[in-house]
Structure 1
Amino acid sequence: MTEQESVEHGIAELASEAFVVGFPLVFDLEQVGRFLHDGLGAVPPTPFNAFGHARTLAGPETTFVSVNNDTLYSIAQLDLSVGPILLTVPAVGDRYYVLQFVDAWTNNFAYVGTRATGSVAGEFLLVPPGWDEEPGENATVIRFPTRVGTIVGRWAVAGADDLPAVHALQDATALTPTLETFAPPAGIPAVEAGPTDALTFFERMRVWSQEFPPADHDRDALATYEPIGLTGSTPIADLPQEVRDALEEGYAVGKQALESSLHSMVPTTDGWQVNLHVFDYNTDFFEVGALDGREWRLTDPTTRYARRAAAALGGLWGNHAYEAAYFPTYVDAAGEQLSGAHVYRLRLSPTPPVGAFWSLTMYDLPHYYLVENPIGRYSIGDRTPGIVYDDDGGLTITISAARPADATAAANWLPAPEGEFRPLLRMYAPGAAVLDGGYRLAPIERTDNMTSTDDTTSTDRNTDEETR
């Protein structure tokens, strides 16, 4: 390798690292912009500093990564360049809800809702970075790490008859500016698409990382990318050709590594990725409702950046496990990729221990979107009408592309696509047994190659002996 080739290789390697570090910011702000102009499924396009409310549950038309089908969404994109904004929430009774606060780097930094602040009405003053004035007497201050951030609200829905009550709660949730100004929100700096995906990505990373600075120690990481032009004022398109070539190479390597990591970076138990700490990369910003404990901090920088990027790609705006635990799986009990070409069974005995509710949602690959099916069922859980429990109180779920002929299997059917898929188990307000690892899920078993189906004992993996 010549000296020139060695230099270019080093730049490309640096670019692949930069891709992983910058991916959450770029992907998040692209989705923020998309929401402002296109909405998100049933949530209509909504300008900054206002809630957009879904009035119906998400379906296959909601083309967003790992969207849930359990709750109605209320989503707001905040731009605090206009000054502090007052958030008002109503009393909700015994209904589960959560308002999750996410900054531009995808850090979950605050929670308002059933677990975090209770079911009573309240007021919260949302303030921009550097704000140091005295708040009002009745409002709890929530400090935003970045000028732009997202509130992702989720309201539990018991069924179609319950929708009007949820709509009333949504309408009573308000965002009110506290300063009079005729200036519009500053917004996200426009970065037009370049000649390639790689150059577009790195130009957005360059511009947006300067507009929305991360935590102090992350700024040190960004500073190391000065040799590839990601910290300066020169547009990526104007960099020397050899640098742009290296950025192209680094982008391709980083992208492939990130996509591959979704399958391998999280430990698995019986095929399930136990993602209790996948969103724990926030180590700096802890406002109301965000737990600041050592068990919820991922501090190793190498692991942290990779985990943060994978979390954004596979589950943007996902909650910490103490709010909602997410267990996805790609494989069956034999370690084979799940596919609609086969029929599977999942036995839950006991069913997941939760303070709110649980569900198993079906997603296609590689997009992680909900799957169109003839009965309009995108998830199954403890609130699904008509499901049939086993004699011991457990639940046996059939997963297949074709509707089962057996009546009980059809009642407990989670439709799958014809191709590969990834189910995701959500547990809202997970119990202590989930968070301490005591609750263990059985693997998903392929049944179209079995000679007998009377083997429920072998699939019941949540015995006292194994849940310790």
Structure 2
Amino acid sequence: MNTSENRQKRSIARSWLWVGLVVLLIVGGILWSQMSTVRLAAKSYVFGYPLVMTDLTRNSFIHTVAPANRLVNMAQFPEADFQVFVRPNLDTLYTQAWLDMDAGPWVFEVPASSRYLVMQFLDAWTNVFASVGTRTTGDKGGRFLLAGPDWHGQVPEGMTLLRSSTRINWLLGRVQTNGKSDYPAVHAIQAGISLRSLDDWQQGTVIEALPFQLPKQLPPSPLFEMRKLGPRAFFGQLSMLMEDNPAAATDVAAVAELEQLGVRVGEGEPRWNWLQEHAVAVGMWLAEREMNAALESPKVLVNGWNKAPKHMAAFGQDYGLRAVVAMYGFGANLAAEASYFNAKVDARGEVLQSGQRYRLHFAAGELPPAQAFWSLTAYDMNGYLIPNPLHRYALGDRDKLVYNPDGSLDLLLQSEAPGEQQLSNWLPTPRSGPFTLTVRIYLPTQRLLDGQWQMPGIERF
């Protein structure tokens, strides 16, 4: 190849290099010009996530399980083959209803009961705005009037007004259930819980609760439906929902950021150009990645346990926590009702694995400080119950546990059954793969809420 040809090829290469640099600068400039949009989209997605998730969850329920404004009672605990939702609770049976406050107001009645129960009402943003039951109203029961923000009628004598700031509300109630043999007692309590419109109550019309029944064909999960929403669909839905389910007065800055993004209450889908829409999509992707990271890698572990924050279900302006809970713990209790500890590692920080034997040791006087009761449940890594010959999926203070002579307690976590003398304290773990644990402490003491009591580490032996 002669010198002239070499010079020509070098000249062509330099030309392409300059073209590449120019394109890179143009693309970089365009991306940089949209960085503010990406940031606003990420923050706004986190802010609005719970409201859209509420709407998706409500729609799924009322189209497949029960219509809106009807009370639904769960009659029994799930077994190990139950895989409809993750981390099922084996402590309480549920009572629930999705309420449209514009069709109300609603009269809600709870019977007198000496056992622990809580009937919590969540607004459309997943904050608990009212809680009825053992902690707040004692064991005498009561009659309550649930009203939306625009109702200004007369509260009938003998009723307590519970006021919501949003049109959509969710009643999620729990009644303490001490195993399968306790079902009849719980069913009797559920039979005394009622929900009906004020008009029906005044006319003496009885509205029977419905039994909880899973649909023959399960719908896609709300989480799956959420991930299908593109930028215009998500923010358009958020815009329309905020018309009847307004943000709190303290959310004024977040609402202003939505407006900067082009999302205005009641206007539906934003009018973005192609570049803006793709910048918003990037922001949504980044936000969801951060939400998943926060769930998978908690910032603070004590003895290997992650504790739910004290402001759970009363989130205030902690929009990040509110969104993460909406994603993977929808319908969480107030911390004062129940505190949760979750672990997927032992005291040494190593992942909990099948084939290993573990012990959870509570020193004398250091049992979970519950004013009601506590439980420990094991799940596989997908959040499902673990099959075992005893059909035992949880242990707690209502079980016939064997305590050590000094008053301490050892719970054994392993796949193989221990000796006969230790069988009552055995919680089966999977025969293969990692697993996780959840401790639920109902009506925790102030000592726990203030962080003075912590779960002990899980020891391998």
Q: Would you call these one fold, judging by a TM-score over 0.5?
A: yes
Q: Deviations over 1:75-107 (max 9, x none)?
A: 111111112110111111x21111011111010
- Give the 3 Å change call, closer, same or farther, for CA 340–228 of structure 1 in structure 2: farther
More displaced 10-residue stretch of structure 1: 262-271 or 25-34: 262-271
- Give the 3 Å change call, closer, same or farther, for CA 246–408 of structure 1 in structure 2: farther
- The DSSP-based 3-state class of the residue aligned with 2:416 is coil
Q: 1:72 aligns with which of 66, 74, 93?
A: 93
- Give the 3 Å change call, closer, same or farther, for CA 106–343 of structure 1 in structure 2: same
Mapping 1:180-329, distance limit 5 Å: 196-199=228-231, 200-231=233-264, 236=269, 239-265=272-298, 267-279=300-312, 281-283=314-316, 301=317, 304-329=318-343
Q: Deviations over 1:281-322 (max 9, x none)?
A: 444xxxxxxxxxxxxxxxxx4xx1112112223322111221
Q: Give the Å deviation of 1:278.
A: 4.4
Q: 1:356 aligns with which of 351, 372, 378?
A: 372
Q: State the superposition RMSD in angstroms.
A: 2.6
Q: Give the Å deviation of 1:210.
A: 3.3
Structure 1 partner of 2:426:
413
Larger radius of gyration: 2
- Give the 3 Å change call, closer, same or farther, for CA 204–372 of structure 1 in structure 2: farther
Q: Deviations over 1:319-356 (max 9, x none)?
A: 12211111112221111232335332211223212211
CA contact (8 A) 2:119 2:173 kept: yes
CA contact (8 A) 2:310 2:449 kept: no
Give distance in 2, aligned partners of 1:382 and 1:222: 46
Aligned length: 408
- The DSSP-based 3-state class of the residue aligned with 2:279 is helix
Structure 2 partner of 1:291:
none
Structure 2 partner of 1:331:
345
Structure 2 partner of 1:376:
391
Q: Give the Å deviation of 1:422.
A: 2.6
Structure 2 partner of 1:388:
402
Give distance in 1, aligned partners of 2:443 and 2:265: 44
Give distance in 1, aligned partners of 2:29 and 2:428: 56
Structure 2: gaps of 5 or more residues: 1-24, 201-223
Mapping 1:132-143, distance limit 5 Å: 132-143=152-163
Structure 1 partner of 2:445:
431
Query: What letter corresponds to residue 141 of structure 1 in structure 2?
Result: L
Mapping 1:44-55, distance limit 5 Å: 45-55=65-75
Structure 1 partner of 2:138:
118
Q: Deviations over 1:374-404 (max 9, x none)?
A: 432221111124x33222232212223x223
- Give the 3 Å change call, closer, same or farther, for CA 97–378 of structure 1 in structure 2: same
Give distance in 2, aligned partners of 1:346 and 1:408: 17
- The DSSP-based 3-state class of the residue aligned with 1:340 is coil
CA contact (8 A) 1:330 1:337 kept: yes
Structure 1 partner of 2:215:
none
Q: Give the Å deviation of 1:224.
A: 0.9
Q: 2:55 aligns with which of 14, 21, 29?
A: 29
- Give the 3 Å change call, closer, same or farther, for CA 25–10 of structure 1 in structure 2: same
Q: Give the Å deviation of 1:197.
A: 3.8
Q: Give the Å deviation of 1:238.
A: 6.3
Give the structure-2-normalised TM-score. Answer: 0.81
Q: Deviations over 1:43-93 (max 9, x none)?
A: xx222112110110234425334331101111111111112110111111x
Q: Give the Å deviation of 1:255.
A: 0.9
Give distance in 1, aligned partners of 2:387 and 2:262: 44
- The DSSP-based 3-state class of the residue aligned with 1:245 is helix
Structure 1 partner of 2:18:
none
- Give the 3 Å change call, closer, same or farther, for CA 263–241 of structure 1 in structure 2: same
CA contact (8 A) 1:344 1:398 kept: yes
Q: Give the Å deviation of 1:253.
A: 1.0
Q: Deviations over 1:118-169 (max 9, x none)?
A: 1113100000113222211110000012111111111111232321121111
CA contact (8 A) 1:82 1:179 kept: no
Higher helix share: 2
- The DSSP-based 3-state class of the residue aligned with 1:224 is helix
More displaced 10-residue stretch of structure 1: 83-92 or 3-12: 3-12
Query: What letter corresponds to residue 358 of structure 1 in structure 2?
Result: W
Give distance in 1, aligned partners of 2:438 and 2:149: 35
Structure 1 partner of 2:459:
445
Structure 1: gaps of 5 or more residues: 39-44, 181-191, 284-300, 448-468
CA contact (8 A) 1:357 1:382 kept: yes
CA contact (8 A) 2:96 2:170 kept: yes
CA contact (8 A) 1:88 1:121 kept: yes
CA contact (8 A) 1:198 1:247 kept: no
- The DSSP-based 3-state class of the residue aligned with 2:370 is coil
CA contact (8 A) 1:388 1:411 kept: yes
More displaced 10-residue stretch of structure 1: 64-73 or 166-175: 64-73
Mapping 1:156-171, distance limit 5 Å: 156-171=176-191
More displaced 10-residue stretch of structure 1: 230-239 or 75-84: 230-239
Query: What letter corresponds to residue 435 of structure 2 in structure 1?
Result: F
CA contact (8 A) 1:314 1:368 kept: no
Query: What letter corresponds to residue 412 of structure 1 in structure 2?
Result: N
- Give the 3 Å change call, closer, same or farther, for CA 3–131 of structure 1 in structure 2: same
